[in-house]
Structure 1
Amino acid sequence: MFHCMEPEAEDVLSPEPQRRSICSNCDRPTRVCLCHALPFPPIQTATRILIVQHPHEARHKLSTTPILNKSLLRASSVTSRRLRRGLSPILDRSPPALYLFPSSASSTTPALHISAVHPSADLVLIAFDATWQHAREMVRASEDFLSEFATRVCLDVDESVGGGSIYDSELILRKEPFAGCVSTMEAVARALRVLEPNGPEIEEKLVGVLREMVRLQAGFLKPVKPRPKLLKKKTEGKEKKEGSVQVIS
């Protein structure tokens, strides 16, 4: 005779957390699905766009690269810490290309402002998708290869001013380190405004998609609170500075 045994507490399996439902078209959670905002068909451009994503950024939920790939017909991306021959068939043929990144004090290659560029046939626009520090490292590691065929270009960036967005504050998902720093999608939109015959229209469409992405995401973002230790150090540093001023006077 078989007896039904009550399972011990440790044998009772807790219900598995339900995975979020993902849209099969835009690859985003259904709660923030962007299909209604994506241009259809994808925007045609004369310029080919290549996004180089840092491995860390490729895992970031708020990366705009996947949305760019779906919005632009001639956009593609690779994941790597540096560009080299054999990584991208697009670049292996050494096409006329621009890589979008500003100059800095340590830059060996000065950046030409993109407004001074004269677009040419088969032009490739390269953008680096990473944190500011990672992007610097990626550019330095890639410049020997890029110097063979590409020109470094930049948008307006002011490193002396705190971060923000070149557009309205509603477009900010993550705080940028300097004024003029933008998301990859914003940077590409601005560049295409200059490079494409119907650039302003393309920029408006891309910014519209980004604005909708931010609007949907805003309801799920938690406000960032300063860490207690950093806040304490900042307060102590301020008090020490004020005390020093009083002694001098």
Structure 2
Amino acid sequence: MSNLIDGDHQFNHPNTRRRICNVCERPATVCLCDSIPAEPLSTTTQIVILQHPHEQRHPLATVPVLNKCLRNCQTLIGRRFRRGDSPLLDSLHDAAAEENPNQSLHAAFLFPGTDITPSMEINQWKSSFGDVDMNKFVLIAFDGTWKHAKEMVCASFPFLSKFATQVCLTYDFNVDGGTIFSSDLILRKEPFGGCMSTMEAVARCLRILEPNGVEIESKLIGVLRTMVRFQASFLKSTKTRPKLLKKGKRLEKD
């Protein structure tokens, strides 16, 4: 394997194929090193992400980039959270089981609610603890398609519900989700209004949970916006095709 050096970036290009940046681990044509913080951002909030195995291989996944941007973020690959996956979550589970939870550490998992499993808006959840300067948070998120995320939440609920509150950002099941053509923050078509990439969702939550959340959100959103801009540059604008007449009617018209 040979390397090319371009400024501060080093690119691998096995067998003269496309170059991959050694830092952000993305193709050179969509390198994010100029956008990703030089040093990972520190947060008091601990972030735990469950990433579906299929999402791990998706070229538009935002979690690998998010991990490079945040110091206090861990990603687990799988289809459900359970005991033994994370020492942090295990400790929260055990403390709750002993009815002696650590009052300075509060956990929430991010997912829209239903009639059966209602969710609390994250602003309201955070406010319920009063002086947030005396509290620390654990934010749990799911990374996958909408179908996969629902399956992961359902499978993880018996474990997470013992110690974590289900929270949400604003959403609306009755509104169509956006696309890359309607927003500079959307990489893939979203199923309904309020849905967003894992990176954007974590950024919005950290704005609320962190003392310097506005600054952290701004930096993460800036990286995401660059990702979307790169992706959009490879797409052709969609134009409605003229409706073709059936052969018989076309001949009749001629």
Q: TM-score, normalised by structure 2?
A: 0.76
| Correspondence for 1:36 | 34
Letter in 1 for 2:140: I
Letter in 2 for 1:198: N
Counterpart of 1:153 in 2: which secondary structure?
A: strand
RMSD, aligned α-carbons = 2.3
Name whichever of 93-102 and 34-43 sits farther off. 93-102
Letter in 2 for 1:20: R
**Aligned counterpart in structure 2 of residue 104 of structure 1, from 104, 109, 114:** 114
**Aligned counterpart in structure 2 of residue 203 of structure 1, from 186, 193, 217:** 217
Letter in 1 for 2:91: R
Could you tell me which runs of 5 or more consecutive residues in structure 1 were left unpaired when the two chains were aligned. 1-15, 233-249
Letter in 1 for 2:125: V
CA distance in 2, matches of 1:48, 1:87: 15
1:74 aligns with 2:72: yes
Structure 2 vs 1, CA of residues 91 and 224 (structure 1 numbering), >3 Å: closer, same or farther?
farther
1:187 aligns with 2:218: no
1:121 aligns with 2:129: no
Structure 1 residue 26, shift from structure 2 partner: 0.6
| Correspondence for 1:177 | 191
CA distance in 2, matches of 1:133, 1:225: 29
Structure 1 residue 90, shift from structure 2 partner: 2.1
Structure 1 residue 46, shift from structure 2 partner: 0.5
Could you tell me which runs of 5 or more consecutive residues in structure 2 were left unpaired when the two chains were aligned. 1-13, 93-104, 127-131, 245-254
Structure 2 vs 1, CA of residues 225 and 124 (structure 1 numbering), >3 Å: closer, same or farther?
farther
| Correspondence for 1:53 | 51
Letter in 1 for 2:153: V
Structure 1 residue 32, shift from structure 2 partner: 0.5
Paired positions, count: 209
Q: TM-score, normalised by structure 1?
A: 0.78
Q: If each structure's strand is expressed as a fraction of its own residues, which one has the higher value?
A: 2
**Aligned counterpart in structure 2 of residue 19 of structure 1, from 17, 20, 41:** 17
Structure 1 residue 17, shift from structure 2 partner: 7.6
Which has the greater radius of gyration?
1
**Aligned counterpart in structure 1 of residue 149 of structure 2, from 135, 141, 151:** 135
Letter in 1 for 2:59: K
